[in-house]
Structure 1
């Protein structure tokens, strides 16, 4: 049996090499009748977790003039039937759908919405045109890119830093976490710890003890993560070498007047920081900051004489709080001391005069 088909060819008339003009010519020729075929153009399909995905499957009927009258289309996963077209009707489910309007065009592609880890595996597209049945397999692979974070982005100069690099919610579970200092790998001391989440994704953490020294401020430090679901296969998340400082001001106060004293923690980018004013070890005021380069705490006080004040700064990444005693003087300190001296001298002078008067009087009375 033969059919007639139209063959069209495009030829170029090269008048301008950059903008050729195409001429379309067609002719008819006899072609053999089509043979029944089923094909899967993508034997492997990859999809991100919770995305929608289509598994392509197409077919060519041997008797297209009959349409889909003698055709049955079925998608399965293992022994489970997902969808089916039979006798002009499509049976879909909430987890799998056929594009019904495309079946007449030989398109049996399957739609799977909101993919989960459990959806990963082999799928079978079966097309039956009486009396022939053909099956094609499509493998679905699910991926989830890791969310990467550092426990603290600080690399504090002069202390032992416990660096922690966390990768969350990734799939599959093959991942590498590497510490890099100035483009050189630091020797791995611990294997990343892996844990599984309830939805089938994984978490991993890499810990590294590093003592930062002077000179590290100008170097780059980062956690390098390698996973197949990342857009560029790898991701860098950088640490910040720095030396935090704690300062207080002003150092000179006006006696007996309201004054605002300030404590400042700065010189780093702090993910979380706290600055507190303390009087005799008890907290007077406290300020919490997030994502800042400077954390400030102000305290209003009235003082007539020196008291025990101190400022304390804490930050995520610091192994211990920074403490700065508040040593200050009064503006009238010198005149105040002079007045006190005069008062003492005058007081002692009056006492001397009293003694000079009382002693002779006692002597006279006794005689």
Structure 2
């Protein structure tokens, strides 16, 4: 008897009153869940005698489970023998895949009767949903924990049907399928956390070249999903004021340098007593070999006597800073070279006068000793 003849035989076989099939003809399950496809029946006597009882399960006309001695085509398929003898011959499928959807046929034989029932099974993919942000900010030299979170009907996930793959700019950098395999020792993934919905990638000792688009792919029960996360790596600027001494009533140019920052979008501003100064300008950022930038901001001031001890400030705003970076200093005056020369000349003259007076007094004292009584 060929397969088609057997199939027709099952469909057209005896329909004696001793055996009647019951239950729904449709069933819905979700990826990753345990499905219990219904096949119930009534008989004159329950439990039935196992010597005269057989159950067959078919998927799209292909035999997948046989019960007289349990034989299955997939270890995920099972049937409860005690329940089957009492009228519940349901097929259980553990950890369902999308491919488990289709038309199932339950064939129950209680000699001399045989009955069949078709059940249409639909498997939805809602069991796995990716969550978490699409952007991640981090600084050079730190440790990144790039987020990749998901939800599923059952957690922790069964590691036999679970896999995670990470790509950076389209290039494979880490895979997990029972074993974590990174392409660089700086990449790692926590297996236990991954099975519980957090498949985040850890990257140690970050450099600017680590910035870019990462793709997290999670495959659970043959239902893959992926999510892109852009990691933005920044470097904090250093602030240096090149000269803090100014001359009064003279045009002075002060320079504030920001260095070692990334990305190149930055704002450097000069203030005096909290107010933005005029006549300031910022040059074009210059890039170092390591990818970071340096830029100078200058301000031109002509301080008067009234500006003595007023506060000058340079402030830097950058994406890597939680609050602006700043340096303050008080205006102190450095005398000009002509003024300094005049002061030095006066000091020398005073010293000369003092020395002459001392010499003259000493001479008078000597004369008085040589000629007593002479004033």
* TM-score class, shorter: 0.5 to 0.7
Give yes or no for contact 2:287–2:293 (8 Å, CA) kept in 1.
yes
**Equivalent in 174, 195, 202 of residue 293 of structure 2:** 202
Give yes or no for contact 1:159–1:319 (8 Å, CA) kept in 2.
no
1:201-220 matches, within 5 Å, as 201-220=292-311
Going from structure 1 to structure 2, the CA distance change for 1:236 and 1:100 (only over 3 Å counts) comes to same
Displacement of 1:122 in angstroms is 0.9
Question: What is the aligned partner in structure 2 of residue 128 from structure 1?
Answer: 219
Displacement of 1:191 in angstroms is 3.2
Unmatched segments (≥5 aa) in structure 2:
1-27, 35-122
Question: What is the aligned partner in structure 1 of residue 149 from structure 2?
Answer: 58
Question: What is the aligned partner in structure 2 of residue 159 from structure 1?
Answer: 250
Give yes or no for contact 2:271–2:277 (8 Å, CA) kept in 1.
yes
Going from structure 1 to structure 2, the CA distance change for 1:235 and 1:69 (only over 3 Å counts) comes to same
Question: What is the aligned partner in structure 2 of residue 237 from structure 1?
Answer: 327
Question: TM-score w.r.t. structure 2 length?
Answer: 0.57
Give yes or no for contact 1:38–1:136 (8 Å, CA) kept in 2.
no
Alignment of 1:83 onto 2:174 = yes
Going from structure 1 to structure 2, the CA distance change for 1:321 and 1:163 (only over 3 Å counts) comes to farther
Give yes or no for contact 1:159–1:211 (8 Å, CA) kept in 2.
yes
1:91-124 Cα deviation digits (max 9, x unpaired):
0232311112323323211101111111111110
Question: TM-score w.r.t. structure 1 length?
Answer: 0.58
> 2 CA distance for matches of 1:105 and 1:156?
67
Displacement of 1:320 in angstroms is 8.5
What secondary structure, in the 3-state scheme, does the structure 2 residue paired with 1:190 have?
strand
> 1 CA distance for matches of 2:280 and 2:265?
19
Question: What is the aligned partner in structure 2 of residue 169 from structure 1?
Answer: 260
Displacement of 1:337 in angstroms is 4.0
Give yes or no for contact 1:42–1:138 (8 Å, CA) kept in 2.
yes
Query: Which of structures 1 and 2 has the larger relative contact order (alpha carbons within 8 angstroms, sep 6+)?
Result: 2
> 1 CA distance for matches of 2:259 and 2:220?
48
Question: What is the aligned partner in structure 2 of residue 334 from structure 1?
Answer: 360
> 1 CA distance for matches of 2:193 and 2:220?
17
Displacement of 1:62 in angstroms is 5.5
What secondary structure, in the 3-state scheme, does the structure 1 residue paired with 2:305 have?
coil
Displacement of 1:332 in angstroms is 3.9
1:68-94 Cα deviation digits (max 9, x unpaired):
1022210001221111012x1110232
Question: What is the aligned partner in structure 1 of residue 276 from structure 2?
Answer: 185
Give yes or no for contact 1:74–1:85 (8 Å, CA) kept in 2.
yes
> 1 CA distance for matches of 2:197 and 2:299?
57
> 1 CA distance for matches of 2:256 and 2:157?
62
What secondary structure, in the 3-state scheme, does the structure 2 residue paired with 1:215 have?
helix
> 2 CA distance for matches of 1:109 and 1:53?
10
> 2 CA distance for matches of 1:127 and 1:66?
11
**Equivalent in 131, 137, 151 of residue 46 of structure 1:** 137
> 2 CA distance for matches of 1:209 and 1:183?
17
What secondary structure, in the 3-state scheme, does the structure 1 residue paired with 2:321 have?
coil
Give yes or no for contact 2:149–2:199 (8 Å, CA) kept in 1.
yes
Give yes or no for contact 1:150–1:164 (8 Å, CA) kept in 2.
yes
Q: Which has the higher strand share?
A: 1
Unmatched segments (≥5 aa) in structure 1:
5-31, 246-317, 347-367
> 1 CA distance for matches of 2:181 and 2:221?
20
> 1 CA distance for matches of 2:205 and 2:166?
18
> When the two structures are aligned, how many residues end up with a matched partner?
244
1:262-321 Cα deviation digits (max 9, x unpaired):
xxxxxxxxxxxxxxxxxxxxxxxxxxxxxxxxxxxxxxxxxxxxxxxxxxxxxxxx7889
